[in-house]
Structures are given as C-alpha cells and as structure tokens.
Amino acid sequence: MKRLFLIIFIITPYLITAQIKPQKDNAKFIEYKKGYYENSILKGIEEYDNQKKEIPLSPKKFSVDFSNKIVPNSPLQFKSVWYNNPVSQGATGTCWCFSAISFIESEIFKNTNQKVKLSEMYGVYWEYVERARYFVLQKGNCTFGEGSEANGLIRTIKLHGLLPEIEYSGKLPGQKIHNHEKMVEEMNIYLQSVKTKCEWNEEIVIETIKNILNKYMGTPPSIITVNAKEINPLEYSENILKVNPRDYFSFMSIKEKPFNQMGELVEDDNWWHGSNYYNISIEDFMKAIKNAINKGYSISLCGDVSEPGMDRDSKCAIIPTFDIPSEYIDDDSRLIRLKNGSTTDDHCIHLVGYLEKDKDAWFLIKDSGAGAFDGENPGFKYYNEDYVKLKMMNILVNKEAVKEILDKIIK
C-alpha cells in the first residue's frame, strides 16, 4: 500500500503538468480574398484617377488555424479609453501619423474633455518637408519615403502645431481616398536630380517640395478661426488643445543595448536617427503598457504585423506554439527575431483597451490599415499579450502613465 501511495505521489505532478500543457496550434494555407483594400481603397483611387489599376495575384497565406479558438470578437468586450472612430490611411504608408494622431486625440480628451478630430495629413505634410530638409543636410545620403515613427508627430507638433481635420483633409476636391504614390514618386525624382547636380540650396529644395505637396494634398492654412479668434496651428495646439510635447516619452526593448538608458531606435523609419528612446527590459516594457491602459492612458505602438498569427477573419493576433511557446518569450527571443529580420517595424497602431479573458490578456487595437476594415467592427483588431510581448518594437506614451518605470531610470 505504501508503495502504491509513493507511485501516485511521484506521477501526480506529471499528470497535472500534462493536463495543463497548452494545446498545440495548427497551421493552414488560406486563399486570399478581396476585401476593403480592393473594394474601397482601389475603387476610390480608380474613380478619382479615371484609370484601372492592375491588382497582382496574392499567394496563399500561411496562417494559424483559428477555427477552434475562443477569442475576443468585439470592442465592447474591452475596458477602453475614449477614442475617435477609426480612419483609413488609404493607399499611403502613413500609419505612424494615424496612430499618433489618434493617440493625441485620446490624450486631449483625457486632459481637457474635448472631443476633436485632428488632421493626420497636416502632420504628414510637415514630415515630408522636414525629411526633405534632412535630405539636403545629409547631401542625399538618406532615404526619402512615406514611413516614419509615431514620435515623429511629437517633433512636428513642437515645430508646427496641429490642425483640425475640417481645416485640412490633405485631399483635393472630389478625392475620397488618400493616395501618395504619384506625389512621393515626383518628390523622389526631384530630390535625386538635386543630388545628381549637387544643388544643395535648402531654401529652393524646401520651396519645391512644398509646391509638390500643395499640388497633391492642398496647402495647409497658416491661420484658422477658433471661438471667433484667429490663431495659428501652434497656438491651436498649445492654447486650445493644451498639448505639451514634453509630456510624451518613447520606449523600446532590445537586449543588444543597455537597459534603462536612452538610445537610438535603429530602423529605417527613424530616418532622423532619433536617440530619445528609453531602452527597457521586456518585463518593464509590458508593465509600462499594462500600467498605462489600466490607468486610463492609451498607447501608440509600432512593430511587426506580418505574422502567421495575425488572422484576417477573426482580426486577432496571437503567437502560435509552432513559433514559440508563451513561457519562452523573453528578451532573448525578441532579440534573435530583431537580428535575423523576422521582426521588423512595419506598422503603427493605437492601443485603446484591455481585457482579461480566461486568464489571458488581450489588447484592443485601433488600426488605420486596410486589413483592419475587413469584416465586422471596421478599424479594430484584438492582440493577445504574447503578440505584443514578442513583436511590438516601440511605444509612445504619456509620462504620467509610466511614472514607476521612469522613476527607475531618472533618479
């Protein structure tokens, strides 16, 4: 009898472990289906340009099989901050500004109780101008494109302020969809000619770039009327919206660099080589995100969204077991993916809500990308905590939301 009890005592932990061992995820190949991008974005561009666009055939996508998964399916399930309705970025690579503007709108409501719809394209306009200026300063030894980082908007706010959407849409009369393809091509052709001819006159280059922007996006107003008073965009940002750029801090998490110090986010989209990112461990990175949303602050975050665990139909993002089990996600597993290129900074989004479901943490994501507008609840996705932990590269957040983290760094 004692021997029987001893055997039971020894094998019980193994039986319990076997019972709680997470079930393996399965993969499948999914046929690409036309969605919001083809039916709304491309259709709107074709109508405006009066020209049919050829759509290349998309290959089958390697994806997680979500058929038996119980996952969130509505923003109403989440405890969330106030946010404006989702807006599509159209056929542009300006997710960074849509994410950051949405974040600032939520911040304005939290601080002043004002519900405002700001112009994304005002920030985009000045980003192109400043990038052209940098191109001249670097004698053309840099890239010129649509991508940037969320904290690029903070730099723009310091220099140029903000505008309401109603004052500047960045669209021409009759244009329904943002499309910068021709505009960026024209600016690049011009800048390459500047480089070839060594015509490094900053004033002339900036004026030419502005002329191109004005042709495709319209000219942003330098004066607007608010409460029967004429003010400029800086005054609107500072005095009406009460936005203080010094309130916002950026964080990244990469083991290759010393933790709890500032450093550069080494990414093409960080074209100005901004080195004002606090580098923290992944444990503190996730703590900062959870603390912020639980205190009623939202977060602008940027990272990798091109993964098998990103499901188009359920609009959920997970890390499947065939990638890496949850318990092995740490600073090292993040680093190897950053170093081998399987994690890249390809999209910025706005984290606006939080949910605990079956002992699992989920985040409500407001997303300006075309894929987010497929299916139900257009403009939203649902990210599992593990997905954020492994694949998100940097965040922009109010300093008050992460005071505990900053207190460890700034002494």
Per-residue pLDDT tens digits for 76-87: 999 999 999 999
Asked if pLDDT for residue 386 goes beyond 80, the answer is yes
Per-residue pLDDT tens digits for 3-32: 544 444 444 454 444 445 568 999 899 888
Interval 243-250 mean pLDDT: 98
Question: What is the 8-class DSSP label of residue 77?
Answer: G
Percent of the chain's residues with pLDDT above 90 = 87
pLDDT value at residue 23: 81
What type of residue sits at position 105?
A: E
Instruction: Note whether 296 and 110 are within 8 A (CB).
Output: yes
Treating both helix axes as pointing N-terminal to C-terminal, what angle do 202-217 and 181-197 enclose, rounded to 10 degrees?
160
Backbone phi and psi for residue 347, each to the nearest 5 degrees, phi listed first? -160, 145
Instruction: Note whether 192 and 159 are within 8 A (CB).
Output: no
Per-residue pLDDT tens digits for 26-71: 989 988 889 999 999 999 999 999 888 777 777 888 999 998 899 9
pLDDT value at residue 398: 98
- Give the DSSP H/E element, type plus range, for residue 225: strand 224-226
pLDDT value at residue 55: 75
pLDDT value at residue 3: 53
The rounded distance, in Å, linking the Cα atoms of 45 and 177 is: 6
The rounded distance, in Å, linking the Cα atoms of 383 and 362 is: 6
Confidence of residue 378 (pLDDT cuts 50, 70, 90): very high
Interval 121-128 mean pLDDT: 99
Mean pLDDT for the chain overall: 93
The rounded distance, in Å, linking the Cα atoms of 32 and 66 is: 16
The rounded distance, in Å, linking the Cα atoms of 267 and 150 is: 13
Helices (H) and strands (E) in the chain, counts: 13, 14
DSSP string for residues in 262-276: EE---STT-TT----
Percent of the chain's residues with pLDDT above 70 = 94
- Residue 116: CA count within 13 A, CB half-sphere: 28
Task: Give Rg (Cα) of the chain.
Answer: 23
Asked if pLDDT for residue 301 goes beyond 70, the answer is yes
pLDDT value at residue 51: 83
Per-residue pLDDT tens digits for 159-206: 999 999 999 999 999 999 999 999 999 999 999 999 999 999 999 999
User: For the chain, what's the residue count?
Assistant: 411
**Domain architecture of the chain: domains with CATH:** 30-49+75-409 (3.90.70.10)
Interval 355-369 mean pLDDT: 95
Residue 346 CB neighbour total at 10 angstroms: 17
Per-residue pLDDT tens digits for 146-158: 999 999 999 999 9
Give the CA distances from residue 399 to residues 66, 324, 404, 410, in Å, rounded to whole numbers and listed in that order: 37, 32, 10, 12
Residue 375 CB neighbour total at 10 angstroms: 15
State the first-to-last Cα distance of the chain, in angstroms, to the nearest integer: 63
pLDDT value at residue 8: 45
